[in-house]
Amino acid sequence: MFLINCPFCGEREQSEFKAGGEAHIVRPKQPTELSDDEWAEYLFMRKNIKGVQFERWNHVHGCRKWFNMVRDTSNDQIKAVYKMGEKPPVK
Amino acid sequence: MSNNLRFKTSKFIDETYRVSFKFNNKTYFGFKGDTLASALLANGIHLVGRSFKYHRPRGIMTSGSEEPNAIIQLHDNSSRTEPNVRATEVEIYEGLVASSQNCWPSVNFDIGGINNLLSPILPAGFYYKTFMWPASFWEKYEYFIRKSAGLGKSPKVADPDIYEHKYIHCDVLVIGAGISGIMAAKMAAKNGFKTLLVDEKSYLGGSSIYDNSEFSKINNQITSSWLEKEINEISKLENLEIKIRTSVAAFHGYNFLLARENLTDHLPINQRENKVRQRLLKIRAKKVITATGSIERPLIFHNNDRPGIMLSSAIKRYIDLYGVACGENNILFTNNDTAYETAMSLIQRGIKINAIIDNREQIDSKISYEVEKNNIKIYKGYTVVDTYGYRRINKISIMKLSKDGQTVIGDKTKLNCDCLGVSGGWTPAVHLFTQSGGKLKFREEDQVFIPNVYPSDQISIGSCNGDFGLEEIIKNTLSSIKKFLDIDNSEYKTVETISGLNQSKRNIWLLPSDKSIGKTKSFVDYQNDATAKDIKLALREGFRSIEHVKRYTTTGMGTDQGKLGNMHALGIISETAGTKMGEHGTTTFRPPYTPLTFGTIVGRNVGEFFDIFRRTPIHDWHVANNAEFENVGQWKRAWYYPKDNENMHQAVQRESKAARDSAGILDASTLGKIDIQGTDASEFLNRVYTNAWSKLAIGKCRYGLMLNEDGMVYDDGVTTRLGENHYIMTTTTGGAANVLGKLEDYLQTEWPELDVYLSSVTDHFATISVCGPNSKKIVSKVVPDLDLSDEKFPHMSFKNSKIDNIKCRIMRISFTGEHSYEINIQANFGKSVWEKCMEAGKDFNITPYGTETMHLLRAEKGFIIVGQDTDATLTPIDLQMDWIVSKKKYDFIGKRSLYRSDTIREDRKQLVGLLTENPEEVLEEGAQIVADIKKSPIEMLGHVTSSYYSPNLKKSIALGVVKGGKNMLGQKLIIPMENKNINVTVADPVFLDKEGERLNAKL
Ligand SMILES: [Zn+2]
């Protein structure tokens, strides 16, 4: 079980959090302008990387804030956590 | 017989405390401090079970958690009965009752033993190969297999014991209190680290605590004496918590570990009352020091499984710790020096050793010379080729090994014995390390896997790290702990060690015999009867991966999880396949290291605490008024209120009739309520609901439908505008938490520019819904200050008011199609206001109704229930709710998906009403809907989602989803059931009062 450093609350047990899928997928500003394929790309297509992955997490049983996490899925090392809207601190 | 097996020289056994216990229905005696295994051995009993496949007699093999054979059923026929318990781990107490497992009718006469004779036709994969076909034979096989197989019985009644969970946070966790664990714990605690030391045994010190040999000394003291002083010292340290009888079951990432602490299992049953039996410790440690020691390897030779064949180290433990001799005519069989320590322990007590068989040609250690001095014959360069004796070993035959160790040469010599101690060297217990994600490396010199790459802040020390000699253990423990904890003071000045052993070893994974391999039974996995021959067969049949070989031969799949035989299996594979050890990796060690009881896993979460449930503020009234409850998410909701001897159907018919004829009252407190505030609140609602919200006037209510981004209906509910920048949203009971989560997600991640704040207020308000033609009269009595006239308080509007000076919010909204009011009041006044309504409605036959009637009433009106009539595959268009989807709004969640090529298909499943040909026939929810039953396969068009008998319409009504249903009005369809086909007609989903006359009636 991870120990996650919520950017707002500090270190907490993983059981307080909920994973929210791939990070940095921006909702299109003008969905109506998009073709079916373009919309489907936004709607359905997600990466599932073995290695360093950018993820959204929610401190659902804590401050309720969403934030981003950089995690190496091959060994579960959390490389960084950072607030929504911030640039990833690691590559 | 038993008298001369007990040597009263052990300080761990309390000879003044005699304990009687029952094994296989016979009473025996042992002493306090004994394990079941040591007590049985003291009584001369080795044979304790049968192997799984061949039902061969098996004896106690080890003295610890690696035991493969002595698997017993504890507490026969009682509520505490427990299968798969290792006799080597059970501390005896007065009144203990245990029996052998996997033998029928008895351990001495076992009918399944016939499998042993059949073994030439029971090779690896036999069950896979044979019982797969012909399929019709399975029933016959099954009878035979089930009768003779089986690993114990589970209890048939509830567990009477108490269990609990506990979180522990520490700076340093030390697993294993052997010599290196004790040293590490002292260094950590004395240097200011909050330290926890755990050990699975009932005593501290590991195997060194009974090491009384002159051949291993620390600072010129016998090892056990030196260690006792150390233990004495650390037990006084404030910074150190010590837990015995505590075994770490799992080592997860981020130094999160699960351990089981046994608190009462060693006590007589009558002393366990009201005590916690076992505790699951959830440990989060900043640093972990693994000092789990090593497990002695057996040797793999023909007939190596007879009762009386044991690990050499186990024989030593039984004599040194429990004062129990495992045999009176012993032979030791080894490939390394540790068996000579066992020999010295036996010699010290005058127990006879007939011979030592050593694979090595050259033996050069002080301890071996000392053994030889005692006139014990050592057969150097020899191996055991066969053993004899059915229920107990009585003889072995030995031969000389060839130079390469692959064959035997010369004459065969037979030697008598009643106990054979075997030692194949040591395997570091790296199970926990690998569970944590650690990577191993293979050390060629002594053929062991040792820790290599640590995934977290942890270290392995002592023999689990591959340090086997006393000097090495102490030296490396000191230096690596100093480095690991980054401390200058090790707390130890100089530690001088003397050891009479050297580390030489002649490793032969599969020892040769004079018989051909096909004729041998050299067991690699004792419990599952997997032999070297089986592994070789698997390789011949093309299996290469260790994981495949494991499953095919069932090697390492018993309750001992391959603790003994795994390395040999790997060795035999690589020898046979001609590959290098280490290339195959090892099989995965999965948690738990030793089995956990279900009780420990669930802790206190049993019975009414199994899951959390939520009660409304009016709950007690429902209970007092005979309500039946249903679970909705975590909520307990009143389902219906049976009167006299009514069944559910009768109660629901009465309740729903009363609600339409006069007045009904519903506890709607479970509906999710989200308070929405901020200058952009209206814009926010515009984006999350399908319909338009900007023009909703203050004091007005509106029904909203929420979609997922994929266009599918997600939730619905009425939202009320309380002020310019203030709304209250209601959600479905089950969807409340998810809706709040979803809204927060969009606010925080997609639209952070919006000035909107969300707060869940579900628990803050009680919600009472009063409906029916007399609702107005009733509510006017409860809220006399409020003008309920249609002009002042029309449908879909809201008013602040007071009941007995307590502020409340009243909405005129309806989920039944009747004139109705929803009273929202501070939760703690909920029950009294409910009672007030009941009192006010007395003259109008006000009838409390539950969720079942609520569902019926809304179905009459064709209102959907999200989650019952929808299942995340239906768009609002599919639900014939086009009216609620704004055409004008540029965007809202899910809008773009409503015209994807898939969502605009005409033949999507669409919501329709269904009327049965026979109005008395009520359809089954979930039943399939078809059109043509003659065509095969029958095309499934959809299914029934809601179905009731409507007392108000006096006929059966149903909602369902049907492919292209929107254009099928009036069409006949069929619901095929088990015994009949039911004819239905597609209808409008609104069955009652389509024009809304009841809602708008002047009251
Ligand atoms: Zn937080």
Q: Are residues B378 and B432 in the same domain?
A: no
Q: Inform me whether the pLDDT recorded for B46 exceeds 50.
A: yes
Please indicate, yes or no, if residue A88 is contained in any of the structural domains: no
> What is the DSSP secondary-structure string of B263-332?
SSTTS-GGG-TTSEEEEEEEEEEEEEEE---EEE-----TTTTSTTEEEHHHHHHHHHHH-B-S-SEEEE
DSSP β-bridge partners for residue B368: none
Mean pLDDT of B299-308: 97
| DSSP letter string, B708-748 | -TTS-EEEEEEEEEEETTEEEEEE-TTTHHHHHHHHHHIII
Is residue A89 domain-resident? no
Q: How many structural domains comprise chain B?
A: 6
pLDDT of amino acid B911: 97
**More reliable by pLDDT, B413 or B580:** B413
> What mean pLDDT is predicted for residues B255-264?
97
Calculate what percentage of chain B has a pLDDT beyond 90. 81
Of B187-201, B533-547, B880-894, B941-955, the least confident:
B533-547
CATH number of the domain at B29, please: 3.10.20.440
pLDDT tier for residue B50 given thresholds of 50, 70 and 90 = confident
What does the DSSP 8-state code read for residue B689? B
pLDDT value at residue B119: 61
B256 touches chain A (CB under 8 A): yes
Contact B359, B422 (CB under 8 A): no
- Are B879 and B734 within one domain? yes
What is the rounded CA–CA span in Å between residue B902 and residue B882? 17
Q: What pLDDT is attached to residue B121? A: 56
**Residue A34: inside a domain:** yes
In this structure, are B765 and B684 located in the same domain?
yes
Q: How close are the terminal C-alpha atoms of chain B, in Å?
A: 99
pLDDT at B51: 81
Flag if A1 and B252 touch (Cβ within 8 Å): yes
Question: Cβ of A82 under 8 Å from any chain B Cβ?
Answer: no
- B253 and A76 in contact by Cβ < 8 A? yes
Give B283 Cα–ligand 1 centroid separation in angstroms.
Answer: 22
Q: Which residue of A has its CA nearest to B254?
A: A2
Q: What is the mean pLDDT of residues B451-466?
A: 96
Two tokens, residue B113: 């033993």
Write the CB contacts of B142 (distance below 8 Å, at least 6 apart in sequence).
Answer: none
| C-alpha span between B625 and B618 (Å, rounded) | 11
Say whether B752 and A39 touch across the interface (CB within 8 A): no
* Percent of chain B surpassing pLDDT 70: 94
- Under an 8 A CB cutoff, do B891 and A36 touch? no
What is the three-class DSSP state of A25? coil
Please say which residue of B601, B624, B646 terminates a domain.
Answer: B601
Residue B757 sits at the vertex; the CA angle it makes with B756 and B759, to the nearest 5 degrees, is 150
3-state DSSP assignment of residue A58: strand
How close is the Cα of A25 to the center of ligand 1, in Å?
22
Instruction: Say if residue B489's pLDDT is above 90.
Output: no
Distance between CA atoms of residues B628 and B640, nearest Å: 6
Structure tokens at B397: 């035959």
Q: What pLDDT does residue B1 have?
A: 40
Strands (E), B881-971: 909-916, 928-930, 940-950, 955-963
* pTM score: 0.89
- Closest to B376 measured CA to CA, from B368, B364, B387: B368
Shared-domain flag, residues B594 and B615? no
Q: For B167-195, b where at least 16 C-beta lie within 10 A, e where not — what string? A: ebebbbbbbbbbbbbbbbbbbbbbbebbb
How far away is chain B from the Cα of A51, in angstroms, using its nearest Cα? Answer: 15
Same domain? B577 vs B615: no
Size of interface A-B (CB pairs under 8 A): 54
Output the pLDDT for position B1003.
Answer: 82
CB-CB: which of A20, A31, A85 is closest to B891?
A31
Amino acid B2: pLDDT: 45
> Does the residue B139 lie in any domain?
no
Residue B316 sits in the same domain as residue B238: no
Q: What is the pLDDT of residues A52-69, one digit of tens each?
A: 999 999 999 999 999 999
Confidence of residue B826 (pLDDT cuts 50, 70, 90): very high
* ipTM rounded to 2 decimals: 0.97
Q: Are A70 and A16 in contact (CB under 8 A)?
A: no
pLDDT digits (tens, 9 = 90+) for B729-755: 999 999 999 999 999 999 999 999 999
Chain B contact set for A1 (CB, 8 A): 252-254, 256
Any idea what the CATH number is for the domain that residue B925 is in?
2.40.30.110
Does any domain span residue B506? Answer: no
CA distance A71 to chain B (A): 13
Ligand 1 centroid to Cα of residue A63, in Å, is 4
> Residue B551: which pLDDT band, with cuts at 50, 70 and 90?
confident
Model confidence over B346-401: pLDDT tens digits?
999 999 999 999 999 999 999 999 999 999 999 999 999 999 999 999 999 999 99
Asked if B443 and B400 sit in the same domain, the reply is: no
Residue B580 has what pLDDT?
86
Per-residue pLDDT tens digits for B695-718 = 999 999 999 999 999 999 999 999
Structure confidence at residue B144 (pLDDT): 53
Domain final residue, candidates B60, B85, B117: B117
Task: Return the closest-CA partner of residue B501 out of B215, B239, B883, B751.
Answer: B215
Task: Compute the distance between CA of residue B355 and CA of residue B322 in angstroms, rounded to an integer.
Answer: 24
Q: Is the pLDDT of residue B873 over 70?
A: yes
Residues B807 and B701 grouped into a single domain = yes
Adjacent-strand bridge partners of B364: none
pLDDT at residue number B133: 52
C-beta separation of B898 from B887 below 8 A: no
Q: Does residue B252 belong to the interface with chain A, where contact is any CB pair within 8 Å?
A: yes
Assess if residue A25 is contained within a domain: yes
Question: Residue B741: which CATH number?
Answer: 3.30.1360.120
Contact B621, B580 (CB under 8 A): no
Alpha-carbon distance of B896 to A36, in angstroms, equals: 9
Per the domain annotation, does B217 fall within a domain? yes
pLDDT single digits (tens) B573-622: 988 888 888 777 777 788 888 889 999 999 999 988 988 899 999 999 99
Report CA-CA distances (Å) from B37 to B63, B200, B312: 7, 16, 15
Q: Which of B281, B748, B895 to mutate to test the interface with A (most CBs of A within 10 A)?
A: B748
What is the reported pLDDT for B114? 59
- The residues that bridge with B35 in the sheet, in sequence order, are B91
Structure confidence by residue, pLDDT tens digits, B99-158:
988 665 566 665 556 566 666 555 566 555 555 555 555 555 555 555 455 567 888 899
List the single residue in B284, B750, B896 with the smallest CB-CB distance to A34.
Answer: B896
Residue B150: which of B204, B71, B251 has the closest Cα?
A: B71
Q: Are strands B82-86 and B57-59 parallel, antiparallel or unpaired?
A: unpaired
- DSSP type of residue B977: -
Is residue B192 helix, strand or coil?
Answer: coil
SS3 content of chain B, % helix, strand, coil (to 5): 25, 30, 45
* Chain B 455-484, residues with CB within 8 Å of chain A CB atoms: 455
Instruction: Kindly report, residue by residue over B636-645, the tens digit of the pLDDT.
Output: 999 999 999 9
Find out whether B126 and B51 touch, Cβ atoms under 8 Å.
no
Q: Give the nearest chain A residue to B745 (CA atoms).
A: A66
For residue B879, report the distance from its CA to the centre of ligand 1, in Å.
39
Q: Does B169 touch chain A (CB under 8 A)?
A: no
Residue B172, H or E segment:
strand B162-175
Q: What is the Cα–Cα distance from B562 to B567, expressed in whole angstroms?
A: 8
Is A2 within 8 Å of B900 when comparing Cβ atoms?
no
pLDDT bracket for residue B811 (50, 70, 90): very high
Q: What would the mean pLDDT of B252-258 be, rounded to a whole number?
A: 96
**Residue environment code for B296-324, b if the CB has 16+ CB neighbours within 10 A, otherwise e:** bbbbbbbbbbbbbbbbbbbbbbbbbbbbb
pLDDT of residue B102: 65
Domain range enclosing A51: 3-83
Q: Are residues B418 and B433 in the same domain?
A: no
CATH number at residue B188: 3.50.50.60
Query: Is the CB of A58 inside 8 Å of chain B's CB atoms?
Result: yes
Q: Do residue B745 and residue B662 come from a single domain?
A: yes
Cβ atoms of B101 and B49 within 8 Å: the answer is yes
A18 lies in a domain?
yes
Residue B457 has pLDDT above 50, yes or no: yes
How does DSSP assign B248-270, residue by residue? EEEEETTTEEEEEEESSTTS-GG
Spatial distance between the Cα atoms of B257 and B248, rounded to a whole number of angstroms: 7
Instruction: Please report, for residues B81, B305, B666, B688, the alpha-carbon distance to residue B730 in angstroms, rounded to integers and kept in the order given.
Output: 51, 69, 16, 13
Task: Identify which of B274, B257, B292 has the alpha carbon closest to the alpha carbon of residue B167.
Answer: B257
Q: Which residue of A has its CA nearest to B709?
A: A43
Is A91 within the bounds of a domain? no
Domain that holds residue B398: 306-422
> What is the domain-level CATH number for residue A77?
3.30.2270.10
Q: Chain A contact for B167, CB < 8 A?
A: no
Among B residues 690-709, those touching chain A with beta carbons less than 8 Å apart: 709
d(CA B498, CA B219): 8
Cα–Cα dist B916/B906, whole Å: 25
| Selected residues 10-69 of chain B with any CB under 8 Å from a CB in chain A | none
Question: Which band of pLDDT confidence, cut at 50, 70 and 90, is reported for residue A4?
Answer: very high
Residue B762 CA to ligand 1 center (angstroms) comes to 22
B-chain residues near A60 (CB < 8 A) = 741
Would you say residue A90 lies in a domain?
no
Contact present, B474 and B179 (Cβ < 8 Å): yes
Count of the separate structural domains present in chain A: 1
**pLDDT score of B442:** 93
Residue A61 lies in a domain: yes
